Chains A and B, each alone.
Chain A
Amino acid sequence: MKGSQVTVKGVEKYFGGFHALKNVSLGINKGEFYSLLGPSGCGKTTLLRIIAGFEDPSAGAVFLDDRDVIPIAANKRPVNTVFQTYALFPHLSVFENVAFPLRLKKLPNAAVKEKVGEFLELVKLPKEGGKLPSQLSGGQKQRVAIARALINEPSVLLLDEPLSALDAKLRQHMLIELDAIHDKIGITFIYVTHDQQEALSVSDRVAVMNEGEVVQVGTPSEIYESPSCPFVAHFIGETNYLGGEVAEVLDGKHARVDFPGIGALYVYQDKPLSVGDGVKVTVRPEKIRISSDKPEGQAGRMNVLEGTVDELIYSGFQSKFFVRVSASATFRIFRQHVKYFMDEKAINWKDKVYIWWNDNDGYVVEAEKNP
């Protein structure tokens, strides 16, 4: 992990008998928007707190710009944190909250005023300096917390689920603004979240964590399209997850797999497979097309199945279909409503439908060698 700004090396953490982090190693590049994503209790916050200096690892090391920071106390590390609960000082005005680190350094008043003004401008709160935190809305509090964490000009900003206390609309809005701030100041952001939408939409790279382990590191599209394990496939988005047996290895990137209760389907694979191997395959619901007419004239290797609509959930921008293709197999399918009046024939409950998708859209998540 040479060249990384933040290097986490073999970090272990025990809380009593609980093994919170299991041999975690990461390399985070300078200027990256890097997310730690996982369900609650997966160790992501613990890892962040170790980087911040609030917890010591039971084993392992954390390097910042090639310097071991574990012996350095939290108040001397060149990293700052935005806390989930904002953690604004209730007795200080917005201005004094942001000025707090500068006051500690005993900066002259004029310099404090100029710098605080600059950072309140950055978070779009130039006029709120005189208010107390209790007079601000949740989104405004979060902005103050961000300005306060940035004013020390840390080399890394740590964000611990900073948006989880906001409502969905505001969360989207703040996320875009956070991204804009990141672009503007260009320092490394390490962002902890349990919300895969947040992580996918703003991150350069995402580390997915589960039960104290990092299970996959990759760009948002890598994580979404090529999950490394069943956990990632299920945790990120919705999916159809199928188990089958390799019937034929095709051109090295594709294979034909027999699925019990469904039949043979073409899948994409980037692992060495041989005939007879057991495989698990993920097919994302939005990649499957659905129609009441049999698809014709499709080029390439296409998977086409017949089924009936078991369930149909309309949600404005799209509909979600559950299509039963056999007694043991149901597929979920998203259809985007691109036009107000749909060109295609409306599909109703209990309708007989055809579903189809390209050979590239089924991805082999894991394979088990045939003994």
Chain B
Amino acid sequence: MNRIGKHATPNRPTGKFSFGMFTFVICFLYTPLVILVAYSFNQSKMMSWGGFSLRWYSELFFNSESLWHSFGNSAIIAVTSATISTAIGTLGAIGFYWYRFKFKKLIRIAAFVPILIPEIIIGVSLLIFFAGIKLNLSLFTIFLAHTTFNIPFVLMVVTARLEEFDFTIIEAAYDLGAKELQTLAKVILPAAFPGIMSGFLIAVTLSLEDFVVTFFVSGRGSATLPLHIYSMIRFGVSPVINALSVIVIAGTVVLAVLSRNVVKYMFQK
């Protein structure tokens, strides 16, 4: 094969500039994380190094009940709100793509606008809304709030995936005798699964890390992990948070690798 000119292929060796830039960006992104990991194993509570120790991890695992309680809250809300928002967002994306209906453009814009609205405004307006309908602030209101802000993101991710989807397969399914629901269950959803999965993972992530909106709509005893960490920091930074962060980072890496492999396994190219 001729490898000159228009047959140029990627995977070239790097030059000085590209390598330098790469190193700089990697350092910039990861130095704070490396420091954080190091300090999670620090015996001393201060910034000075006091020797290696698992003290903060044992503190985290055996002496931080309220922290684990809020972690549980976060997990419940992340999974439930991501599930519901993925279901709604996916159906919405398919609907916008495949069907023709009145005011489609307008509704589509309205569905995407929440992404652009500052979180603090969403938080305040949800608080006013919940107060207006006399709904007590609890885990349930957090769940509603997270589902609300997750839907447009799922919609966006799934729509992006559907754009590269060959929609004749829907016609093919109809042609071969499938009804509307059969087409959805047996063709559209499985074929769009990688897109739906990435929508779900983004929703989980957004929900886990949300602070601003949650701050407005959480009630007594319904603090999520970010709210709990914030309240801890008000009384001085505890190295327990470092230990917790390391575990969260490790968990994220494992999840990312897993989801990549799952999708790869299901759609061997």
Contacts and interface: CB of A to CB of B under 8 A. Distances in A.
Contacts of B172: 81, 83, 87-89, 148
Interface stretch (B68-76, B153-161, B185-193, B238-246): B185-193
B193 A83 contact: no
A105 B177 contact: yes
A104 interface: yes
Interface residues of B, number: 22
B118 to A, nearest CB: 39
Given A87-B171, A89-B191, A134 B176 contact: no
Contact of B178 (A90, A91, A104): A104
Contact of A80 (B176, B187, B268): B176
A105 B182 CA distance: 11
Contact of B175 (A52, A89, A90, A135): A52
A101 B178 CA distance: 8
Contacts of A135: 268
A85 interface: yes
B175 A81 contact: yes
A141 B214 CA distance: 51
Contact of A91 (B173, B175, B193, B269): B193
A313 B172 CA distance: 45
B175 A74 contact: yes
Contact of A87 (B169, B177, B182): B169
A134 B182 CA distance: 23
Contacts, number: 71
Contacts of B174: 54, 73-75
A228 B184 CA distance: 48
B268 A134 contact: yes
B168 A152 contact: no
A152 B176 contact: yes
A175 interface: no
A91 B268 CA distance: 10
A366 B177 CA distance: 47
A91 B191 contact: yes
A26 interface: no
A67 B190 CA distance: 36
Contacts of B193: 91
A88 B169 contact: yes
Interface string A80-117: 11011101111110000000110011000000000000
A70 to B, nearest CB: 16
Nearest to A132: B268
Contacts of A81: 171-172, 175
Nearest to B193: A91
B21 to A, nearest CB: 35
B171 A54 contact: yes
Interface bracket on A: 20 to 34
Nearest to A134: B269
B187 A89 contact: yes
B169 A89 contact: yes
Interface in B179-214: 179, 182, 186-187, 190-191, 193
A134 B178 CA distance: 23
A2 interface: no
B166 interface: yes
A339 interface: no
Nearest to A76: B177
Given A85-B166, A87-B166, A132-B268, A75 B175 contact: yes
A88 B168 CA distance: 9
Contacts of B175: 52-54, 74-75, 80-81, 149
B267 interface: yes
A248 B269 CA distance: 71
B191 A75 contact: no
B268 A90 contact: no
A52 B269 CA distance: 32
B176 A100 contact: yes
B179 A75 contact: yes
Interface in B212-258: none
Contact of B267 (A52, A74, A90): A90
Contacts of B166: 85, 87
A75 B177 contact: yes
Contacts of A53: 175
Interface of B: 166, 168-169, 171-179, 182, 186-187, 190-191, 193, 266-269
9 contacts: A54-B171, A75-B178, A75-B179, A89-B172, A89-B173, A89-B187, A91-B190, A101-B176, A101-B177
Interface of A: 52-54, 73-76, 80-81, 83-85, 87-92, 100-101, 104-105, 132, 134-135, 148-149, 152
Q: Name the 10 nearest CB pairs between A and B, nearest first.
A: A87-B172, A87-B168, A101-B176, A91-B190, A75-B174, A74-B174, A87-B169, A81-B175, A83-B168, A75-B177
Given A89-B190, A100-B173, 7 more contacts: A54-B174, A54-B175, A75-B179, A85-B166, A87-B172, A89-B173, A91-B193
